[in-house]
Structure 1
Amino acid sequence: MSRTLKTVIVNGSLSRPSRTRVLLDTLQEQLAEAVALDIEWVELVDLIPHIGTTLYKSALPDEARRAIDAIESADFLIVGTPVFRGSLPGLLKHLFDLVELQALDGKPVLLAATGGSARHSLVIDHQLRPLFGFFQALTLPIGVYGTPEDIQDGQVSSEALRQRIALTVQLAAPVLHGVQQRLTAAAPQRPHVALEVQAA
């Protein structure tokens, strides 16, 4: 039996509630129907007081260090961010500045973003993919981007975005199943204990 994937969802929004959270919630709900996930959230808004001026992981307070540890030990990351002035928030970039260089080697990462208009959508390919390429992570085939017209009243409201999410899940599932199989095969096996039955 395949093990569940330790999945960390990083919400790069600096506000609560947020369209980014709605998009990430929808993604994880549909992914969880296709792949067994054990989910933990890292909310950037909760870390604002802790990481802004810190240069080293060892100097972080406990809450922020636990967030970094969760990212580093994940089997699978989902990272979502709002876009401001054509770029991701500097504090989100700084969060990943504190991640160990080799911690994400080969790990699958699903990218998502929200912005005020469609013209910001290239942030996924022009900024997020290079960031995780630096970490030698495995970014999944397509990312997901939503605008205010796509996400309204706390839910995904456009058919186009729903179809994009469905396609993302369809393309991600085989990769994630492969990761599950590899991790299951690498896990230490419990020794088989033979039981002797004695006649009464």
Structure 2
Amino acid sequence: MSSALNVVALIGSPTASANSRTLLLVRHLLEELRERINISLELVELAPIARSLGQALQRSEVEPQVERALATIESAQLLVAATPVYRGSYPGLFKHLIDFIELDALVDTPVLLAATGGSERHALVIDHQLRPLFSFLQAHTLPIGVYATPADFDGDRINSAALQARIQLAAERAAGHVAPRAAALPAPLRRIA
């Protein structure tokens, strides 16, 4: 059996909730990934570190739990980045956390993007907000993102066949993308001005 792929799931909700739709969406994505590839999973949740993160103006000022979260994100071989949508974009503290990631840390790292929002009108957040954010870090954002609304859930279950199909497709495509990479040696990082 091949070694497990280090998958880090970043839950970008600044408020903690066991019923978080963003967390539920990620759990379903991870279940589908587990069915396709051997993964080891680390979960990074914004909520427990949000207050201390907000007090730091630069990475050298962050508290140890924030530094651990950043190091975990930077170690990902596949990053699942999921966030709720507030007023048409991701939360400010989510962006603040991403701002502290080392510029070279996610180069060529595959990133599966996901978001939840109150209605379909926020669905473009994946392509208009999240994709450019991770592209700046030279991460490889995977083509299939997943967006969900409250109507897609019934408690902790997904009641939307369309959303379930999208989750399966995203996991299938992500697995197809990372499986060959997991066996290959990483290429040396080239820097440009």
TM-score by length of 1: 0.89
Q: Where does residue 180 of structure 1 map in the other structure? A: 182
* 1:159 paired to 2:161: yes
Alpha-carbon contact 1:12-1:89 (below 8 Å) kept:
yes
Q: Where does residue 101 of structure 1 map in the other structure? A: 103
Q: Where does residue 190 of structure 2 map in the other structure? A: none
Match runs of 1:120-159 below 5 Å: 120-159=122-161
Hey, what's the Cα distance between the residues in 2 that align with 1:57 and 1:158?
Answer: 40
TM-score by length of 2: 0.92
- Once the 2 structures are TM-superposed, how far is the Cα of residue 25 of structure 1 from its aligned partner? 0.3
Matched AA of 1:170: E
Moved more, 104-113 or 11-20: 11-20
- Once the 2 structures are TM-superposed, how far is the Cα of residue 81 of structure 1 from its aligned partner? 0.3
Runs of 4+ in 1 over 3 A off after TM superposition: none
- Once the 2 structures are TM-superposed, how far is the Cα of residue 2 of structure 1 from its aligned partner? 2.9
Bigger Rg over Cα: 1
How many pairs align?
A: 185
Alpha-carbon contact 1:55-1:98 (below 8 Å) kept:
no
Alpha-carbon contact 2:14-2:94 (below 8 Å) kept:
no
Hey, what's the Cα distance between the residues in 2 that align with 1:31 and 1:9?
Answer: 12
Pick from 74, 77, 94: which aligns with 1:75? 77
Q: Deviations over 1:140-195 (max 9, x none)?
A: 11100000000221221111100111111121111110121114x88xxxxxxxxx
Q: Where does residue 4 of structure 1 map in the other structure? A: 4
Alpha-carbon contact 1:9-1:77 (below 8 Å) kept:
yes
Hey, what's the Cα distance between the residues in 1 that align with 2:51 and 2:13?
Answer: 14
Helix, strand or coil: the match of 1:142? coil
Matched AA of 1:111: L
Hey, what's the Cα distance between the residues in 2 that align with 1:90 and 1:63?
Answer: 19
The unaligned stretches of length 5 or more in structure 2 are 188-193
The unaligned stretches of length 5 or more in structure 1 are 187-200
Alpha-carbon contact 1:106-1:137 (below 8 Å) kept:
yes
* 1:14 paired to 2:14: yes
Matched AA of 1:127: Q
Match runs of 1:28-67 below 5 Å: 28-67=30-69
- Once the 2 structures are TM-superposed, how far is the Cα of residue 37 of structure 1 from its aligned partner? 0.8
- Aligned-residue RMSD, C-alpha: 1.3
